[in-house]
Structure 1
Amino acid sequence: MVKKIGIVSLSSGILGEIFIRHELKIGVERLNKYGIEVEFLPNALKGMEFIKEHPESRAKDLIKAFKDDSIDMILCAIGGEDTYRLLPYLFGNNELKMAVKQKIFLGFSNTTINHLMLNKVGIKTFYGQAFLPDICELSNEMLPYTKRYFEELITTGKIKEVRPSDFWYKEREDFSESAVGVNMKKYENTGFELLCGKSVFKGKILGGCIDSIYDIFDNSRFGDTVSIYKKYNLFPKLEDWKNKILLLETSENRPEPKLYRKMIVALKEYGIFDVLSGVLVGKPQDEIYYDEYKKILLEETAGKDLSVVYNINIGHATPRCIIPFGVEAQVNVDKQVITFSD
C-alpha cells in the first residue's frame, strides 16, 4: 500500500504555474482521500522557465526521490520534451545507479526517456499515467478506467492484467476553472485489434511515446539528441530487444502520417522489428489518423515474423491503463487481455 507519493517535474515545469493551481488542488485532495501523503520534490513547483533552464535540478529531484525511504512511489507531474538533458547529471558519474532502489515509478509521454534511463540501471517501472493529466482530471472523479488501474497500483504495487476500455474520450480543449466538473464526451471503444502475426505472444515490455523515441535517431527537434543518447548508450542494443515487446504510442502533437512513417522506418532500420516478439500500439489521441497509422504499421512490418496489436488504451488517448515494464507479459488478443507475472 502506497503511503507517500513524491511528485517530480522531469520534463515540463507547468505544474508550478498559477494557471493550473485549481488542477493541482484537485489532484492533491484526491490523493489525500486515499490516505496518501503528497510531497512535491524541491524543484517540482518552480515553474516552466526554471525547469527548462535547470535540468540539473530536475535530476537532483529524481535522485532525492529514490534516496528518500519515506517515498513509496515517484509520480511524474506530466511529460514535456527535453528530459534527455538530465542524462549528464544522472549518468556522468553513475549518480542514478548509486541512488536507485526498486520502488514504483509512474509516468508517460516524454517520461519515456526516464523509463529508458531506469531500465538501464535495472529498475522496473510503470508506464501510462501522470499526476496532472490523470489524477487532476477536471471531472468530479478520475475517469473510471484510469482510476481502476491507478487504485490497483497504489494498493497492490503491481498491475495484474490490462483489458480494453469500454469507452474512449475526446480530449479537453478547456482546462480553466470553468471546466471543473464538466465531463468529457465519450465514444464506444472497439478493443484490441490484431494487425498481423500470432494472437498470443509473450515477452517483457519496454517503449513508450514514439515521438520521444524518434529523438534518439533524429536531430530535427533538438540538435544534440542523437549524440547525447549515443554517448550514454541509452537505447538498448539490438540483442537486448530480442523476444521483448515494444510499446509505441503517439503524442498530443498527433504526428502526420508522413512523419509517423519516418518514425516507424527509423525503428525498422535499427533492426528492432527483426528481433521482437511483438508490438503494442496505443490508440491515437481522438482517433486522429487511426486508419493511416494502421496502414503504415502493416506496410513497414510486412514480411516480419511479428505480432502487432493496435488500439491499446495507453498513452495520450484517454482513458489510460498502466503497463508494467520489465516483467513478463502475455498478450492474448483472442481473450482481449494482457497479463503480467509478478
Structure 2
Amino acid sequence: MNRVNKIAIVSLSKGILGEAFVAHELELGKKRIKELGVDLCFMPNALKGLEYLDNHPEERAKDLLQAFKDPSIDMILCAIGGDDTYRLLPYLFENDELKNAVSEKIFLGFSDSTINHLMLNKVGLRTFYGQAFLSDVCELSSSMLPYSKNYFNKLITTGKIDKIVPSSIWYDSREDFSANAIGTTMKEHSNEGFILLQGSSIFSGKILGGCIDTIYDIFDGTRYKDSPELCKKYSLFPSLDEWKGKILLLESSEEKASAKKYRDMIKALSNYGIFDVINGLLIGQPMDRTYEDEYFEILKSEVGNKNLSIAANINVGHSTPRCIIPFGVTAHVDISKQVIEFEY
C-alpha cells in the first residue's frame, strides 16, 4: 500500500467520540485530516455515543467489518481505546465474519484496541500500533505533537513505518481537555532515549503485543468476569508456538497500575511461558513516567529468562508523544544505535 486517500474512523470500544463534550476536539481532528489532503469518513456507529455503543457491541463489530469491505477505504483509524473491546469477539469470529471480510488496509489504534490487533493477527493482517484519532490527531495543542505527527504523516504518505528513533522530549499528560485548552501546550522534559534493562542490545523479530492492562484482562477476570472465557474460546492470545521468535511490546495504561498490580500482570505472562520463547521485550514509557523505576525492577526480577533482551522507554502508547509500531513486520532493534528498523 502507498499513500492513504481515505480514512475511516471506528469506535470499537468506548463511544466517547459521539459525546458533546469532545465536539471541539472532533472538529479539530476533521480539520487536520483535511489539511493532509485525505478524505475522512465516520462509520455508521462511530459517533453514536457512550451509552449506545456500550449496549451494542455487535454494532461496533459491524462497523469494522463494513470498513474492511469498503474498497474506497485505505485506512481504519480507531477513535480511542476503552476497556471492553473483547465483547466484539463473538460477532467477528463465530462464523468467520472477520476472516471473510478482512482486506489489505492500514489498521491503527492503541490501548484497548490491543484486542483488535490480536484479532487481526489471527486472520493474518499486519497492523500498526501506537496512536488514535482522538488522542493524537485531535490533540489540543496548536498542531499535532511534532514527533507523533512525523510518524502519522509517514504512515499516511507511504503506507509503512521504516524506522523508529526516540523522541528528544516527553510531555506531562494533558489534564484539561475543554475547549478552553485549545492551543495550550504541556510541560516538556528531556528524554534520554531507549534504555536497555538486560540482555543483548541487538535483537530481531516480528513485534506483537500492546497495552499490558488489556492483555492482563485476557488472563484475569477481575475487571470483566467473562473476558478470559471469551478470549480463550476464540483463541485470541497466540500460543507459545506462535510467539516463538517474536518481540513482545508492552505499554501501560492511563490507570498507572501500582507496583503490585504491575507485578501481577508480568507474572501472568511469565506463568504463560512467553518470556522463554520470544526474542525480546519492548517496554513503552509509562504515562508521566509514574512508577517507572518500580516497573523496571519488577521486569528484571520477574522475567525468569535473564538472557532475554528488554528495551524500555519506547515512546509509544499512553505516554506522549507517540510513535507508530508496525506489527507483523520483521524488526531489527539496535539499542546501542538507538534505532528500530523494519524490513518489509
What range describes the TM-score normalised by the shorter chain of this pair? Answer: over 0.9
**For residues 105-124 of structure 1, what are the structure 2 equivalents within 5 Å?**
105-124=107-126
Q: Indicate conservation of the 8 Å contact 1:274/1:304, yes or no.
A: no
In the alignment, which residue of structure 1 is the partner of 2:236? 234
Deviation at 1:184, TM superposition (A): 1.1
Following the alignment from structure 1 to structure 2, what is the Cα–Cα distance between the partners of residues 100 and 167?
37
Following the alignment from structure 1 to structure 2, what is the Cα–Cα distance between the partners of residues 171 and 305?
34
Work out which of the residue numbers 306, 310, 313 in structure 2 matches 1:311. 313
| Structure 1 SS opposite 2:206 | strand
Work out which of the residue numbers 38, 56, 79 in structure 1 matches 2:81. 79
Q: Report the aligned-residue RMSD.
A: 0.5
In the alignment, which residue of structure 2 is the partner of 1:93? 95
Following the alignment from structure 2 to structure 1, what is the Cα–Cα distance between the partners of residues 61 and 28?
27
**For residues 135-146 of structure 1, what are the structure 2 equivalents within 5 Å?**
135-146=137-148
**One-letter amino acid of the counterpart of residue 252, structure 1:** E
Aligned residues: 342
Work out which of the residue numbers 24, 27, 33 in structure 1 matches 2:26. 24
**For residues 317-332 of structure 1, what are the structure 2 equivalents within 5 Å?**
317-332=319-334
**One-letter amino acid of the counterpart of residue 191, structure 1:** G
In the alignment, which residue of structure 2 is the partner of 1:200? 202
Work out which of the residue numbers 135, 150, 153 in structure 1 matches 2:152. 150
- TM-score, normalised to structure 2's length? 0.99
Long gaps (5+) in structure 2: none
Deviation at 1:301, TM superposition (A): 1.5
Residue 54 of structure 2 corresponds to residue 52 of structure 1: yes
Offset from partner CA, 1:149-205 (integer Å, 9 cap, x none)? 000000000000000000000011100000000011110001000000110000000
Offset from partner CA, 1:18-77 (integer Å, 9 cap, x none)? 010000000000000011111000000000000100000000000000000000000000
Following the alignment from structure 1 to structure 2, what is the Cα–Cα distance between the partners of residues 247 and 92?
28
Q: Indicate conservation of the 8 Å contact 2:270/2:304, yes or no.
A: no
In the alignment, which residue of structure 1 is the partner of 2:15? 13
In the alignment, which residue of structure 1 is the partner of 2:335? 333
In the alignment, which residue of structure 2 is the partner of 1:173? 175
**One-letter amino acid of the counterpart of residue 222, structure 1:** Y
Deviation at 1:212, TM superposition (A): 0.3
Q: Percent identity?
A: 63
Deviation at 1:305, TM superposition (A): 2.5
| Structure 1 SS opposite 2:184 | coil
| Structure 2 SS opposite 1:214 | helix
**One-letter amino acid of the counterpart of residue 76, structure 1:** C
Following the alignment from structure 1 to structure 2, what is the Cα–Cα distance between the partners of residues 210 and 136?
25
